[in-house]
């Protein structure tokens, strides 16, 4: 079946519906939902029962880049800076040096067991060198897997921030494959430019985005997530336009925004959470449609060998060497090594050689696809089991509330107080968003002149207002009073 304007909506909606229904029940059988989405796409493709003829790496790459924007941005918004800060150095080491070492060690192995040139081998290693944010975020959160110490924020920080490094390495070695006379050291300026500009512009756009979201008056709550989407794409495209790494920029921007007080923050977070799932489904369905299973069969043997080397040797080498200067228990290092999930991102990166016309591009694409499927199937289905084996999982009764869950839990609290705002209060004529209320307190209602006002981030506090506040505990009342009286709280 050929995709046309007349049937694309019907086909797309049916595939999306089937993916959601099947994905909902997949975990009962221990199968990651992302693998189901991929399988449905393959079944609907030209070699499957759907016979949908889709053979466009250009469109697949475009969909992949747009999807990764949403997935990385959503993951960044859910990143708790307080949880990440203690393991920031470890996360950066894993997402830079760890990715580089994984790419090089796997590339050298591929060079010795295939007829690839050294640059082609390193290109393949670079494409599959990073852990996949979509796979890690969705599997960890869908399984509600609670881990000891700072393991979970370490894994989420690594997966959310290491795609930029893999992207730089992929582009760099792709240029060397096409122009081998350039030499290895020619990629160093590109790496520095991409990472420095990406990080700096990501933070800059984060600060600017906060100002825009909190200052602009749109009138409708539903427009604020749309505004956030536009700022996300501006951050990515503007950074990429000046030669920086757009993926790193949007992740840094999102981490900053996710830890700031924003107007209608819950609405924005919920919207991006749903969009991230939509993009994951669309991305895996698209890549499933792009793959021709018959073309993968000849590479099963070599693909399995490379995949096993990546899982059991290259990934642990990258993890252990990049963490060698940090204090961390051995079993935690082993678990980080095991959560080296490869998903859709390597497949998206594998479209770059296809579009560049590299001789072995088709072989690289099929091997990468096989590696991704093997990784999600083998590692994704055993995360909970391995966590128990290594004694890094928390018992069910002491599982903490996940960061994204805390954002959405507006109610209930355990205590309620009413506070009247005096005429000389600092809070008078201030927006609620500018008061920086503690997370342990929530304004549920405002009594004003005999009527009730539903509070929002942009609501102005007036003299003699009575704030109805829900608190986690009685002790939180002191923090609230401090916020309402401390002149520094508004700076």
- Residue 203 and residue 75 share a domain: yes
Position 24 scores a pLDDT of 60
- Given 369, 403, 437, which residue is the final one in a domain? 403
**Largest Cα span, the chain:** 81
Task: Classify residue 261: in a domain, yes or no.
Answer: yes
Tens of pLDDT, residues 81-100:
888 888 999 999 999 999 99
Task: Classify residue 171: in a domain, yes or no.
Answer: yes
Query: Has this prediction a pTM greater than 0.75?
Result: yes
Which among 34, 4, 115 is positioned nearest to 345, based on CA atoms? 34
- Residue 268 and residue 157 share a domain: yes
- Residue 300 and residue 446 share a domain: no
- Residue 214 and residue 122 share a domain: yes
Torsion of CA 60, 63, 64, 69, to 10 degrees: 170
- Residue 360 and residue 308 share a domain: yes
- With 0-12 / 13-18 / 19 or more C-beta atoms within 10 angstroms meaning exposed / middle / buried, residue 474 is exposed
Ranking 299-303, 351-355, 365-369, 403-407 by mean pLDDT, the lowest is: 403-407
Q: For helices 163-178 and 99-113, what crossing angle results, to 10°?
A: 40
- Residue 482 and residue 366 share a domain: no
- Higher per-residue pLDDT: 354 or 35: 354
Task: Classify residue 38: in a domain, yes or no.
Answer: no
- Higher per-residue pLDDT: 148 or 87: 87
pLDDT at 22 over 50: yes
SS3 304: helix
Task: Classify residue 430: in a domain, yes or no.
Answer: yes
- Given 378, 403, 428, which residue is the final one in a domain? 403
- Residue 382 and residue 247 share a domain: yes
Position 21 scores a pLDDT of 73
CATH code, domain with 268: 1.20.1530.20
Q: Which domain holds residue 425?
A: 411-490
Task: Classify residue 29: in a domain, yes or no.
Answer: no
Task: Classify residue 81: in a domain, yes or no.
Answer: yes
Could you tell me if 247 and 68 are in contact, meaning their C-beta atoms sit under 8 angstroms apart? yes
- Residue 453 and residue 391 share a domain: no
Per-residue pLDDT averaged across 445-454, rounded? 83
- Residue 269 and residue 153 share a domain: yes
pLDDT at 415 over 50: yes
Which among 73, 21, 67 is positioned nearest to 257, based on CA atoms? 73
CATH code, domain with 436: 3.30.70.1450
Task: Classify residue 289: in a domain, yes or no.
Answer: no
Position 489 scores a pLDDT of 41
Distance of alpha carbon 44 from alpha carbon 51, whole angstroms: 6
- Residue 338 and residue 464 share a domain: no
Task: Classify residue 392: in a domain, yes or no.
Answer: yes
Q: How many CB atoms lie within 10 A of CB 92?
A: 17
Domain count across the chain: 2
Distance of alpha carbon 166 from alpha carbon 140, whole angstroms: 22
Angle in degrees, CA 361, 367, 368, rounded to 5: 85
Distance of alpha carbon 335 from alpha carbon 315, whole angstroms: 11
Tens of pLDDT, residues 165-207:
999 999 999 999 998 888 777 788 888 899 899 999 999 999 9
DSSP code for 186:
G
- Residue 421 and residue 399 share a domain: no
Tens of pLDDT, residues 404-414:
444 434 444 56
- Given 403, 423, 458, which residue is the final one in a domain? 403
- Residue 245 and residue 184 share a domain: yes
Tens of pLDDT, residues 277-296:
888 888 888 888 888 888 88
Mean pLDDT for all residues in the chain:
83
Q: For helices 315-322 and 99-113, what crossing angle results, to 10°?
A: 150
Could you tell me if 310 and 102 are in contact, meaning their C-beta atoms sit under 8 angstroms apart? yes
Tens of pLDDT, residues 233-290:
999 999 999 999 999 999 999 999 999 989 888 889 989 988 988 888 888 888 888 8
């Amino acid at each position: 079946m050929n995709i046309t304007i007349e049937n694309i909506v019907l086909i797309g909606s049916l595939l999306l519906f089937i993916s959601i229904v099947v994905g909902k029940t997949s975990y009962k059988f221990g199968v990651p939902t992302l693998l189901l989405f991929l399988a449905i796409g393959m079944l609907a493709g030209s070699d499957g029962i759907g016979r949908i003829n889709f053979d466009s790496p250009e469109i697949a790459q475009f969909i992949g880049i747009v999807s990764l924007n949403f997935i990385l941005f959503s993951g960044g918004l859910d990143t708790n800076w307080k949880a990440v800060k203690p393991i920031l150095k470890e996360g950066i080491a894993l997402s830079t040096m760890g990715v580089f070492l994984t790419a090089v060690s796997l590339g050298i192995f591929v060079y010795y067991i295939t007829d690839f040139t050294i640059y082609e081998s390193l290109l393949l290693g670079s494409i599959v060198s990073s852990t996949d944010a979509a796979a890690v975020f969705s599997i960890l959160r869908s399984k509600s897997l609670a881990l000891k110490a700072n393991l979970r924020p370490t894994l989420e920080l690594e997966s959310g921030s290491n795609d930029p490094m893999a992207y730089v390495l992929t582009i760099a070695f792709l240029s060397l494959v096409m122009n081998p006379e350039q030499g290895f050291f020619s990629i160093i300026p590109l790496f520095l430019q991409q990472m420095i500009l990406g990080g700096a512009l990501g933070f800059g756009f984060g600060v600017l985005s906060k100002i825009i979201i909190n200052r602009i008056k749109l009138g409708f709550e539903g427009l604020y997530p749309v505004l956030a989407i536009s700022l996300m794409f501006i951050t990515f495209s503007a950074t990429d336009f000046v030669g920086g790494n757009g993926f790193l920029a949007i992740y840094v921007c999102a981490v900053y925004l996710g830890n700031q007080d924003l107007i209608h923050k819950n609405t924005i977070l919920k919207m991006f959470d749903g969009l991230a799932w939509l993009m994951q489904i669309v991305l895996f369905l698209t890549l499933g449609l792009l793959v021709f299973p018959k073309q993968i069969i000849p590479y099963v043997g070599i693909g399995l060998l490379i995949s096993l080397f990546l899982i059991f040797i290259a990934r642990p080498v990258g993890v252990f060497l990049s963490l060698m200067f940090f204090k961390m228990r051995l079993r935690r290092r082993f678990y980080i090594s095991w959560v080296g999930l490869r998903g859709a991102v390597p497949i998206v990166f594998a479209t770059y050689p296809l579009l560049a016309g590299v001789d072995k591009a088709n072989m690289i694409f099929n091997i990468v696809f096989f590696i991704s499927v093997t990784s999600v199937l083998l590692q994704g289905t055993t995360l909970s089991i391995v966590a128990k084996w290594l004694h890094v999982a928390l018992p069910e009764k002491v599982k903490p509330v996940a960061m994204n869950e805390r954002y959405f839990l507006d109610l209930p609290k355990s205590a309620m107080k009413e506070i009247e705002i005096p005429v000389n209060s600092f809070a008078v004529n201030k927006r609620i968003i500018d008061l920086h209320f503690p997370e342990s307190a929530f304004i549920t209602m405002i009594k004003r002149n005999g009527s009730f006002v539903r509070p929002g981030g942009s609501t102005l506090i007036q003299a003699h207002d009575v704030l109805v506040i829900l608190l986690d505990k009685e002790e939180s009342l002191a923090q609230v009073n401090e916020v309402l009286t401390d002149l520094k709280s508004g700076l």
